[in-house]
Structure 1
């Protein structure tokens, strides 16, 4: 856990170190100005009252210098507070925004995305709530801790100037009790904060399931049961909130007791010093008010510790994804695709053949070749493409492949404009390139007829387009991607025959000079290839080349158009 916290803090301070430390310095300056303002005001009021007891001292008393000091401290405190809020929040939000691309890269690693996509609500929670929780480390822990240490140091120095034992004793008391109360509060609230985070995550997922699947739940007679599950989760959330509030109240009580003891001890010491004529009443008032003001920075720090458990949970979840991404298949210098005795086992259990998706695959594909991978369902066709794409890592063996673009069976479109859905393939693509890709995919006229053209917003999952139009949009995205290797996983599955034939023709027209690896069981798709690799039970059963009787026979055994 310490290593994870250090990793996150290093990322925080990597690019904006001066700005982040500047925020801590402004927080300390705010505390200095606030304590100085309160202490000087107390000294000034007390000294003015005592000076007014006699006409001579009243006339000789200088009210201008302390008054100017009070005005200056008030201005400094206001400006420092404003600057601290602007600087700290701007820096923290900028760092969190910069961390999200690293998180995306972390989940682009082999295996990671596949596991998270099994529970998409968890992925959304990691990228939003968990990432946002990291700012607690800086905004609610580091900044208030710097301010609290500055306050204790000021109390120690100022009271030490009055009486060294008093200054050392009070600084030690404030430091010890503050650290003890914070540790106690963090320990009491940590489990509740984690339970609260788990409950919020579950509540969001269950609420989405209830809303999006209410028709299916009602037809299955499970709607009331889902509502009861939601109510139980909400009860767990309320219980966790109650435990956190209790820890906050108890920590606040202990802090008030420690502050009262500090004030009482300071008052007693000041009484003795005034009685011994070591200091005057105005200085005693200044000392008391400084001790009183020193408790202010501890309150936000205590409240920050209430979220420490939630923050540490987010750190533990996210820190591994913030490291440098694992590499996928090593790039082949020649552009070849090479699989050497590559095996992949589900569940990371290579010793069990029952879990083997691929077993001892050895295959070489030259640049520019077009290879169709065929076989019955479950033979490992999609898994082979995932290995070459780098979405999966082989359990044993080696995979070498150039950069590729994978067109999966499922069309992945997002609730965004047509333009931005296309620019996922090439972020710097201009309108001319986008229209050219749409033209090549046979979708230009459809998009041009929309009221907003490329700026037309699609619904969730590409809502607003038919299945064939959505597939053509994915095809246009494939055409935009500047890679020489296309991985096509049943590219016309689910389309009607005329649309499927048109998609295949457009793929053939745009594939000149590219390497194609096509997973299919349909004749029209395999007809693009000049090699057919037959998979059976996760192994290569045959490797057939165009022009041979075996190739033609296998091609005609596939499902017709």
Structure 2
């Protein structure tokens, strides 16, 4: 990544703020339960040591044995054991539920950010980017709270409590204990974090490569076989998997060294505390049971920091994800509503300049000086060669592209793109993308207008019939009619159609166009096309050439017939 550490830190804190902004009570409660669990475990070990030592000393004489209270310490030990178990269960339940809820919210926010005007066009250049951001990167943020923020906060709170408790007994002992505990507890993870950075970055990159190659292998098997590249693609996938294994092995070695470091440090701390406690006991500062309690507390003192082992391994991946996602997760300003055209018009272009990089100063211009008024209810077709700017103009009319200059005013519109975008869902689910609140009656009414109601009614499950990926289960013409039904259901007065029958055979295309004109009613139709059969349903033809409106011809004029004749009829 090209980000500097300050940028990474800002991204990290920005993501953590989003976490706690969504579920502050649950995430804070998770940290509290983690602290309770750790404290209960350490206290249980220390109290048990004190109890065993005190009991042994009390048993040296009959008088002390009879006077010693066995029941209160036993009750405390049982309470601590129950508290540790309940705390661990509650911490796992609360933290995982909260983290999953936060990640679901972040996933939705990220998707809405990519669905904003102009973002979708940029995403189309690399469609796998959204998939990786929604899956790999969002999943990586799970570790940010569960394996980094939670154990760090809990470890520091518990460490502060332990130091304070020992300070009550002896200040010098507490200072030495604090220096060893915090020095090792913070130092080892920091050193390990640096050691894990390179393999973690390599793992993050290889994981995306592996998934991309697996998707290419599954989705492009036919093309790969025809090109004789199936074996090469399998080999590339195997090589990526081997690199992923190497990165995992390197990270596992770092994790093992962290555990070994804490084990060694725990022995050193215990030895140091043994010397200090022995000196205090010899000087009469503490008795034997308290000395046993302090030693056993020191033995378990590194347990909170040992929970950071996995967090150190996954921290770099989470930082990469945070750096990528933080800019996209900022609340985006709502796009300005399109200006309304004058009464009687469906759209107006006034000296408009359009380009693909409208957000960048001096971005490439595709169309310049566009000025045109389209009356309500008109049928107009924009013609031109490939690259003339037809789809760019429709994107601007749909609000997906901001003009670089000039003024654009339109009625609310719906865009039917060249591809029929259907999802692996029910027919009803695909239709309700246009109107989530639509009733079954409204869905069937839209299907009837699109000429697809009979097909749906013939299905055993009707509207609940499932489609495969990309609309598998329907023919090309049926898929187009379903997209048309979605357009009808949306109810926008301006329909934008980008080559609506491209890829369909002649008979199917003519049937779809007939259905389209029959259900258009008083809607305004704006088509982008290079086919005669599509242009023929328009009352006005507009030729885009040399980056401008070259010719405007209305039905009945010689120029109209000339433009129509010049188109191919596939």
Specify if TM > 0.5: yes
1:338 aligns with 2:384: no
**Which residue does 1:198 correspond to in 2?**
205
Secondary structure at the residue paired with 2:284?
A: coil
1:322 aligns with 2:333: no
Residue 379 of structure 2 contacts residue 526 of structure 2 at CA under 8 Å; is this kept in 1?
A: yes
**Structure 2 runs not aligned, ≥5 long:** 1-7
Deviations 1:284-324 (A, max 9, x none): 11111112222112122232121111111111222222123
Of the structure 1 ranges 210-219 and 310-319, higher mean CA displacement relative to structure 2 is found in 210-219
Structure 2: distance between partners of 1:375 and 1:6: 50
Secondary structure at the residue paired with 1:535?
A: strand
Secondary structure at the residue paired with 2:492?
A: coil
**Which residue does 2:141 correspond to in 1?**
134
Secondary structure at the residue paired with 2:303?
A: coil
The 5 A counterparts of 1:64-463 are 64-325=71-332, 330-334=337-341, 336-338=347-349, 340-345=351-356, 356-395=365-404, 397=406, 399-463=408-472
C-alpha displacement at 1:524, in angstroms?
3.5
Match of 2:517 among 508, 512, 531: 508
Structure 2: distance between partners of 1:12 and 1:416: 31
Structure 1: distance between partners of 2:51 and 2:406: 81
Structure 1: distance between partners of 2:373 and 2:527: 15
Structure 1: distance between partners of 2:568 and 2:397: 25
Structure 2: distance between partners of 1:227 and 1:391: 39
C-alpha displacement at 1:534, in angstroms?
1.0
C-alpha displacement at 1:256, in angstroms?
2.2
> TM-score normalised to the size of structure 1?
0.94
Residue 330 of structure 1 contacts residue 400 of structure 1 at CA under 8 Å; is this kept in 2?
A: no
1:61 aligns with 2:68: yes
Deviations 1:447-479 (A, max 9, x none): 111121111111111111111111111111111
Structure 2: distance between partners of 1:249 and 1:128: 28
C-alpha displacement at 1:111, in angstroms?
4.3
Structure 2: distance between partners of 1:146 and 1:57: 43
Residue 342 of structure 1 contacts residue 359 of structure 1 at CA under 8 Å; is this kept in 2?
A: yes
Residue 431 of structure 2 contacts residue 485 of structure 2 at CA under 8 Å; is this kept in 1?
A: yes
Residue 484 of structure 1 contacts residue 515 of structure 1 at CA under 8 Å; is this kept in 2?
A: yes
C-alpha displacement at 1:22, in angstroms?
1.1
**Cα gap change, 1:137/1:339 in structure 2, threshold over 3 Å: closer, same or farther?**
farther
Structure 2: distance between partners of 1:412 and 1:259: 60
**Cα gap change, 1:210/1:524 in structure 2, threshold over 3 Å: closer, same or farther?**
closer
Structure 2: distance between partners of 1:407 and 1:519: 10
Structure 2: distance between partners of 1:293 and 1:85: 21
Of the structure 1 ranges 505-514 and 64-73, higher mean CA displacement relative to structure 2 is found in 505-514
Structure 1: distance between partners of 2:87 and 2:360: 59
Structure 2: distance between partners of 1:559 and 1:220: 31
**Cα gap change, 1:400/1:314 in structure 2, threshold over 3 Å: closer, same or farther?**
farther
1:478 aligns with 2:475: no
Structure 1: distance between partners of 2:306 and 2:524: 64
Structure 2: distance between partners of 1:116 and 1:455: 31
C-alpha displacement at 1:538, in angstroms?
2.7
C-alpha displacement at 1:52, in angstroms?
1.1
Secondary structure at the residue paired with 1:279?
A: coil
Secondary structure at the residue paired with 1:412?
A: coil
Structure 1: distance between partners of 2:36 and 2:138: 29
**Which residue does 2:33 correspond to in 1?**
26
| Aligned positions, number | 559
Secondary structure at the residue paired with 2:308?
A: helix
C-alpha displacement at 1:374, in angstroms?
0.8
Structure 2: distance between partners of 1:208 and 1:307: 25
Structure 2: distance between partners of 1:167 and 1:337: 78
| Structure 1 outlier segments of 4+, above 6 Å | 346-352
C-alpha displacement at 1:356, in angstroms?
4.5
C-alpha displacement at 1:75, in angstroms?
1.7
**Cα gap change, 1:461/1:358 in structure 2, threshold over 3 Å: closer, same or farther?**
same
RMSD value over aligned CA atoms? 2.3
**Cα gap change, 1:331/1:201 in structure 2, threshold over 3 Å: closer, same or farther?**
same
C-alpha displacement at 1:433, in angstroms?
1.1
**Cα gap change, 1:217/1:241 in structure 2, threshold over 3 Å: closer, same or farther?**
same
